[in-house]
């Protein structure tokens, strides 16, 4: 008689972190922020070149906002569709399709010579790219151990930070090359002055697309064992380059099965019971296998139930999470817009001050000083994302981490406009505190919400749809946020109350307390791991009868 502990529990502890596949996913991911952020340094100048002379600065700013917001609005429209499609055909195909849409959008934007063409190009990029939600789903399916979640969910935002720094630098350096580099005069880059940064960004997208086709593994539980010609080509290429067996070089998805097999070999007596000799589901090769049955103490092994409907998947906790995504995206994107405005406004006159509410002004900085100071936040956010968030999340849990940021955001917004009226020697330290709070709260709040949504999902089979819904909620908020906050800032300036826009988004952040503090911890993540680790153990020797006795703590195999 051999006693064997519950496989799912032990397997979850020993399952390795999917380092290789996360690295490949990061390479596919980084090209998108590079492409997305590269337009911001020159967007205003590009739009200004489209409109006829005589247009006011306010009109040009409005058109620039339309160009940048069109991506978010179209992403909102298509996010749910791409999420549901990934639940049907798999994550990899949708991710690669999103990369292709990004590259096509960048090419069209580089060749744009009118405002409608620029709007169409940006809108097309948002319409064809639903990768944010699908990426979250892919990470959730790659990471099968709950203790790995904080580390895993910090990687993609970290990659985004790196991409924004690279993209912003490329856009600023490569726009209008004929004006700064004589050898570009008389070329296509003089006719299309904003084509070069878009071509370079498209090159990054093509690189990410190639890496994804060759080495990215499918993670959808119903599709991950389908034949993948791209991965087969990638393994062939590795064998040709390194002259050795590369079958497992970029393959993490069978780790849990190999882990299960090694545990059985270690814990079971080979002469009494050999599970991997008879089990059709324990394998380390890429074969099509049936989905393991679910087990219950009362009914034994049963077939896995079908995926829940959308109505069943939209539980109370999921709906609260979606609302939290929308509110969080609204006030954080408004913060991104109001902070440069605060730095650019002239220093307030002492005669115009009527504290605590009536004052108008800022730091009076130049564009170059503002840009340099804001660039530093990218490095701060990388540190917060890769170091601070995993540590805090492990100590407090995702829900408590989110609650902390939820509580502190309104305080940050209420105090921000008063930095302009501080004494000269305190303004820079005060602004540094504001930037540190901004990047830290963002690095803690978004990954925490992603983990909470993953754990609240009733099934991985609808996780792509739920992430698509959440990202659509965030996208529509990012579309309206700058418009509302900009309007309130203009109204505040006319009333000599530059803090009005800040206090408005503080009110929105306070509104987020209602759904945020109603969120609860969920144990669904453990169920996801159990779905993947449970295997039906069947003895193929017809002359030997196996009696399986199950208790709450262990499985006893008697021969």
Per DSSP, the residues of 75-113 read HHHHHHHHHHHHHHH-HHHHHHHHHHHHHHHHHHHHT--
pLDDT tens-digit series, residues 83-100: 888 888 988 999 999 999
pLDDT mean over 203-213 = 92
CA distances from residue 262 to 171, 267, 533 in whole angstroms, order as listed: 51, 9, 13
Helix H segments across 384-397?
A: 389-396
pLDDT at site 146 = 76
Predicted local distance difference test score (pLDDT) of residue 545: 38
Residue 249 has pLDDT above 80, yes or no: no
Encode pLDDT of 250-303 as tens digits: 554 444 444 444 444 444 443 333 333 333 333 333 333 334 444 444 444 455
Mean pLDDT of 515-523: 84
pLDDT band at 544 (very low <50, low <70, confident <90, very high): very low
pLDDT bucket at 502, cuts 50 / 70 / 90: very high
pLDDT tens, residue by residue, 302-361: 555 667 777 888 889 999 999 999 999 999 988 887 887 788 778 877 666 677 777 877
Torsion (CA) 186, 192, 194, 197 in degrees, nearest 10: -70
Domains of the chain: 18-245 (1.20.1250.20), 308-532 (1.20.1250.20)
Half-sphere exposure of 299 (CA within 13 A, CB side): 8
Out of 46-50, 293-297, 516-520, least confident range = 293-297
What value, to the nearest 5°, has the Cα angle with vertex 404 and ends 401 and 405?
95
| pTM score, whole prediction | 0.66
Share of the chain above pLDDT 90, in %: 20
| Mean pLDDT to the nearest integer, 127-151 | 81
């Amino acid at each position: 008689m051999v006693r064997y502990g519950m496989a799912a529990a032990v397997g979850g502890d020993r399952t390795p972190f999917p380092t290789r596949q996360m690295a490949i996913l990061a390479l596919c991911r980084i090209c998108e922020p590079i492409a997305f952020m590269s337009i911001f340094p020159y967007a205003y100048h590009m739009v200004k070149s489209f409109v006829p002379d005589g247009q006011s600065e306010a009109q040009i700013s409005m058109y620039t906002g339309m160009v940048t917001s069109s991506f978010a609005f179209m992403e909102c429209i298509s996010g749910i569709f791409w999420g549901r499609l990934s639940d049907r055909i798999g994550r990899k195909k949708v991710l690669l399709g999103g990369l292709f849409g990004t590259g096509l959008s960048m090419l069209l934007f580089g060749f744009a010579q009118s405002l409608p063409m620029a709007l169409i190009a940006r809108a097309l990029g948002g319409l064809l790219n639903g990768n944010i939600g699908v990426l979250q789903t892919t990470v959730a399916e790659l990471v099968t151990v709950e203790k790995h979640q904080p580390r895993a969910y910090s990687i993609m935002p970290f990659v985004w930070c790196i991409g924004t720094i690279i993209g912003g630098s490329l856009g600023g350096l490569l726009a209008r090359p004929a004006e700064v580099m004589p050898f570009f005069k008389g070329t296509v880059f003089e006719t299309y002055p904003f084509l070069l940064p878009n071509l370079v960004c498209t090159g990054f997208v093509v690189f990410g697309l190639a890496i994804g086709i060759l080495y990215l593994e499918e993670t959808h539980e119903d599709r991950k064992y389908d034949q993948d010609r791209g991965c087969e080509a990638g393994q062939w290429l590795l064998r040709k380059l390194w002259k050795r067996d590369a079958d497992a070089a970029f393959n993490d998805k069978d780790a849990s099965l190999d882990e299960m097999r090694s545990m059985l070999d270690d814990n079971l007596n080979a002469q009494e019971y050999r599970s991997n000799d008879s089990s059709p589901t324990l394998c380390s090769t890429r074969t099509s296998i049936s989905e393991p049955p679910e087990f219950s103490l009362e009914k034994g092994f049963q077939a896995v139930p079908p995926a829940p409907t959308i109505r069943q998947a939209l539980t109370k906790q999921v709906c609260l999470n979606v609302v939290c995504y929308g509110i969080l995206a609204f006030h954080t994107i408004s913060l991104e817009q109001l902070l440069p405005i605060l730095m650019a406004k002239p220093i307030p006159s002492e005669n115009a001050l009527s504290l605590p509410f009536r004052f108008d002004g800022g730091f009076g900085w130049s564009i170059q000083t503002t840009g340099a100071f804001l660039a530093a936040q990218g490095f701060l956010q990388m540190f917060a994302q890769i170091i601070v968030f995993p540590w805090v999340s492990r100590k407090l849990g995702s829900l408590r981490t989110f609650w902390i940021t939820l509580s502190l955001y309104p305080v940050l917004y209420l105090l921000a406009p008063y930095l302009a009226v501080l004494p000269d020697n305190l303004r820079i330290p005060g602004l540094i505190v504001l930037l540190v709070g901004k990047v830290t709260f963002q690095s803690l709040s978004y990954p925490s919400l992603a983990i909470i949504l993953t754990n609240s999902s009733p099934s991985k089979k609808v996780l792509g749809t739920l992430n698509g819904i959440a990202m659509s909620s965030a996208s529509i908020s990012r579309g309206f946020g700058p418009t509302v906050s900009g309007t309130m800032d203009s109204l505040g300036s006319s009333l000599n109350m530059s803090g009005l826009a800040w206090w408005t988004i503080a009110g929105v952040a306070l509104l987020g307390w209602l759904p945020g503090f109603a969120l609860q911890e969920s144990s669904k993540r453990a169920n996801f791991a159990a779905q993947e680790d449970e295997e039906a153990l069947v003895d193929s020797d017809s002359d030997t009868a196996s009696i399986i006795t199950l208790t709450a703590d262990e499985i006893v195999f008697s021969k």
